[in-house]
Amino acid sequence: MALTDLDALLNQMTLEEQVSLLSGEDFWSLPEIKRLGIGKLRVTDGPNGARGGGSLIGGVKSASFPVGIALGATWNRDLVSEIGGALAAEVKSKGAHMLLAPTVNIHRSVTNGRNFECYSEDPILTAELATAYITGLQAEGVGATIKHFAGNESEIERTTISSDVDERALREVYLIPFEWAVKKGETWGVMTAYNKLNGTFASENEWLLTTVLREQWGHEGLVMSDWFGSHSTAETVNAGLDLEMPGPPRDRGEALVEAVKTGAVPEQTLRERVGTVLAVMQRTGALDDHREFIEHADDREEHRALIRRAGAEATVLLKNDGILPLTATGKIAVIGPNAKTAQIMGGGSAQLNPHYRISPFEGLATALGEGRLSYAHGATNYRYEPLLTGAFEVDYFANTDLSGEPVHTETQEDGQAFWAGYVGAGKVDPKHFSARMRHRYEAQQTGAHRVGLFSAGLSRLYVDGVLVADAWSHWTAGHTFFEQGCDEVIGMVDLEKGKSYEIVIEFATGQEGTLGIAAMRSGIGVPLGREAIDAAAEIAGEADTAIVFVGRNGEWDSEGSDLPDITLPGRQDELIEAVASANPRTIVVLQTGGPVEMPWLERVSAVLEAWYPGQEAGNAIADVLTGAAEPGGRLPQTFPVKWLDNPAHSQNREVYPGQDGHVRYAEGVFIGYRHYDKHGIAPLFPFGFGLSYTQFALSDPAVDETRFEADGSATVSVTVENTGSRPGSTVVQLYVGEDTPVLERPEKELKAFAKVRLDAGARTVVQLPLDARAFASFDKGGWRVHAGGYTVRVGTSAADLPLSAALHRDSNLDLPL
């Protein structure tokens, strides 16, 4: 169907049919209109994969790609675009037309639970990579849905809090990735944030959705709410929100029909909203898609290879005393909680059921031979007790008191559940039911065990008929399940190794929260003590090299809650100290969604930050450790020495984490490296930093400023040479500073960069173009390049900028919004 037919199609639609396309029919799709041959638009969660229409737990398997901060660490537009194209294939394998990605909120603090899902602390790096991701995805006919627009830089009270941000900080920092996504990437979708922006919910913020997004930037795609993130009828439609998700309708449907009839929503406004949805359906092929809905697992070799390559390129080498790459011989002690557990993704809506998981131990065993390796667990890093695994028989009841006969019985594979939409084979109301789960558990050790339980809804756990964990009697809202669940309740029970015990968990839906979630998770574990650390130190002392795999996991780096601090969880710091004391040839491999404090840094020989690199995690990490691949990553976020150094840390709770329903961005534009520059704080590792297995030299900076006075543009060139003995890559970074700023401005701001790969001894000239916006600040309601001098600095991190050049303009230059 041609684009010109959409007006005719709209003319054929009844009011009720038009309204039906402005709300989801179910969790992941819009309703079809058979009378007019209009198909069903389907969406799926991202951004590090395409989960499909299943629950957050289980479901059809999908490829797990590196998370957002890992892609940010690559600084590689071409690679991110390639991943976007691969994700389009994944979306199609799940029968969907749009991917709910990328996530581009800025790393304002180091404790945001969702930093792992976002690219960077810097707006230009984020915007460049987001545009590449969108371009790669949409080139294959799959729509991007950039999120979360705007001001969602924390997970604390995120569904209700107001992010209070001045317009200059919004324009110069937080809105830039969205602006580029619209103007350069031509994104087909934008998702609004849960939070309020300056007192108004993002989903009904007319200034944000209409004035800025559509009128100033020219967005032609659709705007949808985050799931359960819209709260009104006429207000959202009139403000510019096209689509309320998920379905069935809450504030639309009959309420919107009535609003149009009474004039609360003008008919022309409704027509514009529906026309936008139809246009995106046409672009994605959904308008004429009448195929049977089928999801399938598409485990492609080319995706495996891409994920492995991207994981290595994302890895940042933070320290290396010459121990890396590993030598071809020698015994290696492999130690730590992340050694035999593949930490491949963060938590929340970004999680999926991967095709497989390769742990670091498995990757090293394949690369080096298992005979060279010894192993010790050493310490734990879980936030919640280890998940109860094995079959559970589940009885469902069409009431909330487990009374009468069950209406359905089924089996689930472990002790967690996330119920949404179709529950109990459709025989219970997902908002009003109860369930009883039974499992036989065989103890692996003798002694005291910790039993953990948390739920969105009421739950309790029995061991052989004895109530051990009670999240029912005094349920209180906490930080689990997107802040809709309680905090973990812990009970203790003595168990005997080899003996089998009956585990019974009872669940009932409770008072419905903002997101309407029903969920539970149960776990059981035995705490590790000092003896486990001593055992790890012992095998380290017997080896030629010790590698300690530590960090966090998707329980810590997760949507729904921020981190309590940036220390390594549990006794991992103690473990590293003990291993380094036993063997000075100790390598630390971190897997986190952001910075951690490193009190042991001076006592280890090497440190790698590997993030959460997807299903090929262990192979990608092994490639870097052995030198089969180089560590291609550079930090997309400053690593501070300590938590209180970071921009959002404040004695004033209104600045962070928020107070009385408001969080005030008091630092303005001074976030990330800009903050450290302003306050003279030396970071542990600066933004943009990363070592290579070779060396590079930058020289001969030159500036072409022939058009600088006329239109504010310039081009900077620099020579890059690989002066080392092996091929490698570096990231040339260009920062701009105004010499005598009219407004208070950062000392320098990243405005251009280039990923350069060279053979040993090779050299090249890199061109770094700068448009007028690279020099502009947001002044009195518009963009202005002020008259005066500017300095461009070029180097390989925010703290290593050896080359510079000066520019000057005689007049002010005002730019369009």
Burial class (CB within 10 angstroms; exposed 0-12, middle 13-18, buried 19+) of 241: buried
Torsion sign, CA atoms 150, 153, 156, 162: negative
3-class DSSP state of 518:
strand
Pairing relationship of beta strands 489-495 and 416-419 according to DSSP bridges: unpaired
Cβ-contact 223, 243 below 8 angstroms: yes
Residues 6+ apart with CB under 8 A from 388: 414, 415, 439, 441, 503, 522, 523, 524
d(CA 223, CA 201): 14
Q: Which residues are catalytic?
A: 226
List of residues 6+ apart from 799 with CB closer than 8 A: 683, 686, 689
Give the integer Cα–Cα distance in Å for 604 and 325: 15
Q: For the sheet with 200-201, list strands across it.
A: 200-201, 196-197, 162-164, 662-664
Residue 737: strand, helix, or coil: strand
Within 10 A of 706 (CB to CB), how many other CB atoms are there? 10
178: left (phi over 0), alpha (psi -120 to 50) or beta: alpha
State the Cα–Cα distance between residues 202 and 770, nearest whole angstrom.
32
Which residue spans within 186-282 are E strands per DSSP? 189-192, 196-197, 200-201, 222-224
Whether residue 156 contacts residue 562, with contact meaning beta carbons closer than 8 Å, is answered with: yes
Cis peptide before 102 (omega within 30 of 0): yes
Strand, coil or helix: 417: strand
Distances (CA, A) of 87 to 3, 128, 478, 581, 771: 26, 18, 34, 45, 31
